[in-house]
Structure 1
Amino acid sequence: MSRGTVLVTGITGFIATHTALAFLDAGYSVKGTTRTAAKAEDWISRFPTHRARFQYAVVADMATCNAFDEAVKGCDFIAHLASPAHWNQNDNETDLLIPAINGTKNLLSATKNEPRIKRVVFTSSLAAIIEPTVEAAKTVVETEWNPITYEQAKFATNAAVVYRASKALAERTFWDYIENEKPAWTGSTICPCGTFAPPLQPLASLSALNVSTAFLWDMANGKYKSGVPTVGSPVYVDARDVALAHVRAVERDAAKGQRYLLIGGVYVPDQFIDVIHRRFPELRGNLPPVDLLKVGQLGFKYNSSKATEELGIQYTALETMVADTISSILALRKQLTA
């Protein structure tokens, strides 16, 4: 018997796919939102053993008023993951800010149509917590907020800054709704950092990998043979840990009204390259030399123990995360070129 039905918005996304599977594996039924019926059918065709507990709702444009009114019906819980996740916008508002913010508003407004809903888990980001640069002496924790305003994001010329703003402003929308509307359901937010894991979502090509996983694959595929570029926030988390955090946030009373930072560890790209070099000898010719001495020079400080203490998250080791991800991409590449 199902433990209840979870609405997973944007189910064909990278983290959303892992999250939906985590709920299904935990005994829940899942209703996924997609832009078209064909996308939903393609998604579940990859996981046929779960078809009996899967249904979908088409939400062609989540920024449209009443977009989720039908989707929420029959659901006990919601995991809201649908949000633009790219840095290649043509228009800051149309491509990132409005979909992220109005999509959140529309989903929350729709919950008035379904009194069964008990918990809504919103997928935010480390980007909602910190500014693009953090002082080395500062320890990043859940109580911090990226202070960017809508007007600043609207006119920003740095694509990454606009993306980060969309996450922060959408999460503020979530908490503002709870404070002002006082819904019968309780809410939690999950704030992961750069996320890596085997890509399980439908992909037409490897060029469609999510940003973090694509960065890792670029290392393995020879793009950075002369050196890997500097990353803004050198922290990682496995998407499977993020998915489990969503399940636990639905299940545990301690998660009511809470915000969770998910960081598995700090890294330098050399650590990723070292794992690839040792575990995938066929890829060694694609790799730059490594300098693991740089690991001790990192100044990024954080505390993500709240997710361990309250949600029971034991973070996946970097070695396992990298090896599993590269192995999965190599298998996917064979499938896509077959």
Structure 2
Amino acid sequence: MSNLDKVVLITGITGFIATHTALAFLDAGYTVKGTARTAVKAEDWIARFPAHKARFHYAVIPDMVVAGAFDEAVKGCDIVAHVASPDNEADFLIPAINGTKNLLLATKHEPRIQRVIYTSSLAAIFDSALEAGKPVVETEWNSVTYDEAKVATEPLLVYRASKALAERAFWDYIQDEKPAWAGSTICPCGTFAPPVQPLTSLSALNLSTAFVWDIANSKYKTGIPILDWPCYVDARDVALAHVRAAERDAAKGQRYLLIGGTYVPGHFVEVMHRHFPDLRDNLPPIDLSKAGYRNFEYDATKAIRELGIEYTTLEKMVVDTIAYIVDLQKQLSA
């Protein structure tokens, strides 16, 4: 069965990582069925990529937490990439967990499904109690419990817990239900790339991309905030990892940490200074000698070995991202 005969369900297709993932599958020859909250959102999405219209379908799912939400969407699909995540900072926990459970239960309605790829996060891996100097690897887990998360008042902590608990639900389902399909999880760190998803305002940029644009757009001219996790990965690498995980036998039952490298904010500034002279007046001073972040050791080579990922350099990632946003800003202002 060739890729041309296979259908991939991409949940939350209008999102940042989901859009890149859908395009990676389309470029690899697959037919894509995307889920969106409304038909208008799905139509807006494919309108941006008319060359792929013949191999694109969609299913409308207004709320993925509703029981049976994915039951119809999975029909006719051979692969599922569950990329959708809650967008309400005040209530990450239950939507993330129950949305994942709903999707997994829906796979019982389609025996064609061979692979399910779940988009998790470094947040599901990184444990603040990790021994200093010990590298972060795929076998680690964020140890926050549901009971701790449900009473937490900090949205970021709840978000990180939701990623870990939802991914645990994924692996628990596989262990308990023993489905015919094989599962894999992709755990990227802070993800940057050109925001090619439909956007009507730069205020709708995803968090990581907005951070880079804020540097270029003078928000941090007097200083850039210290970061908890000073690592990056290009969304195009994350997208390709989904495709490879769906295709390679070695990926069955595996978890992949995706980190392209570490950085200090000054690295972004230095790249922008060299490549975008028109933005120089917006940039803070360059001082690469100031680390500005905690020591961060990691090992993300498993994705290189098993998925053949060649991580995009920080320079290319930043240049492509800023060039795209500069052009997008002009389009939105026209």
> TM-score, normalised to structure 1's length?
0.96
Aligned residue type for 2:27: D
Displacement of 1:131 in angstroms is 2.8
SS in 2 for 1:302: coil
Aligned counterpart in structure 2 of residue 81 of structure 1, from 80, 83, 105: 83
Q: Distance in 2 between matches of 1:274 and 1:133?
A: 33
In structure 2, what is the equivalent of residue 11 of structure 1? 13
Moved more, 304-313 or 146-155: 146-155
**Counterpart Cα distance in 1 of 2:22 and 2:198:** 13
* Aligned partner letter, 1:83: S
In structure 2, give the amino acid aligned to 1:329.
I
Contact residue 226 and residue 292 of structure 2 kept, 8 A: no
SS at match of 1:293: coil
Aligned partner of 1:69 in structure 2 is: 71
Secondary structure at the residue paired with 2:67?
coil
Q: Select 2:277's aligned residue among 278, 281, 298.
A: 281
> What is the deviation of 1:294?
3.3
After TM superposition, the score normalised by the length of structure 2 is: 0.97
Indicate yes or no: 2:99 matched with 1:103. Answer: yes
Q: Are residue 182 (structure 1) and residue 184 (structure 2) matched?
A: no
Distance 1:204 1:231, change over 3 A: same
Gaps of 5+ in 1: none
C-alpha distance after superposition, 1:66-124 (max 9, x if no partner): 000000000000000011256xx33xxxx211111000000000000000000000000
d(CA) in 1 for partners of 2:199 and 2:147? 35
Report if aligned partners of 2:266, 2:287 keep a CA contact under 8 Å in 1: yes
- How many residues were matched structurally? 332
Whether the 8 Å CA contact 1:139–1:301 is kept in 2: the answer is: yes
1:113 lines up with 2:113 in the alignment: no
Contact 2:193 2:209 in 1 (8 A): yes
Residue in 2 that maps onto 1:156: 152
Residue of structure 1 equivalent to 2:53: 51
**CA-to-aligned-CA distance 1:209-254 (integer Å, 9 cap, x gap):** 0000001100000000110001110000000000000000000000
Q: Partner residue of 1:238? A: 234
Maintained 8 Å contact 1:85/1:163: no
| Structure 1 contact 9–33 (Cα < 8 Å) conserved | yes
Matching residue of 2:318: 322
What amino acid is the match of 1:17?
A: T
Partner-residue secondary structure (3-state), 1:120: strand
1:137 has 2:133 as partner: yes
Tell me how far apart the structure 1 counterparts of residues 159 and 32 of structure 2 sit (CA, whole Å).
Answer: 28
Same amino acid, percent of matched pairs: 71
Distance change (3 Å), C-alpha of 1:82 and 1:30: same
Once residues 297 and 107 of structure 1 are traced to their aligned partners in structure 2, the CA distance between those partners, rounded to angstroms, is 37
Shift of 1:333: 0.5
Alpha-carbon distance in 1 for matches of 2:85, 2:161: 12
Residue from 187, 200, 203 that aligns with 2:199: 203
Secondary structure (helix, strand or coil) at the match of 1:294 reads coil
Residues in 2 aligned to 1:190 and 1:304: alpha-carbon distance in whole angstroms: 11
Distance 2:183 2:138 in 1: 15
Partner of 2:187: 191
Of 112-121 and 146-155, deviating more is 146-155
Structure 2 CA distance for aligned equivalents of residues 154 and 248 of structure 1: 35
Displacement of 1:172 after TM fit? 0.3
What is the Cα deviation at residue 293 of structure 1? Answer: 2.0
Amino acid at match of 1:66: G
Alignment partners' CA distance in 2, 1:3 and 1:10: 22
For the structure 1 residues 276 and 206, does the alpha-carbon distance in structure 2 shift closer, same or farther, using more than 3 Å as the test? Answer: same
Letter in 2 for 1:180: D
Task: Please report how far the alpha carbon of residue 204 of structure 1 lies from its aligned counterpart in structure 2 after TM superposition.
Answer: 1.4
Tell me the amino acid that sits aligned with residue 76 of structure 1: D
Instruction: Tell me what 2:264 maps to.
Output: 268
Q: 1:122 and 1:293, CA in 2 relative to 1: closer, same or farther beyond 3 A? A: same
Partner Cα distance (1:324, 1:84) in 2: 27
1:219 aligns with 2:215: yes
| In 1, Cα distance between equivalents of 2:76 and 2:111 | 9
Report the Cα offset of residue 136 of structure 1: 4.0
Query: Which residue, out of 269, 284, 290, partners 2:286?
Result: 290
CA distance in 2, matches of 1:40, 1:296: 41
Q: Which moved more, 1:187-196 or 1:144-153?
A: 144-153
SS of 2:33's partner is: strand
What RMSD in Å do the two structures reach over aligned CA positions?
A: 1.4
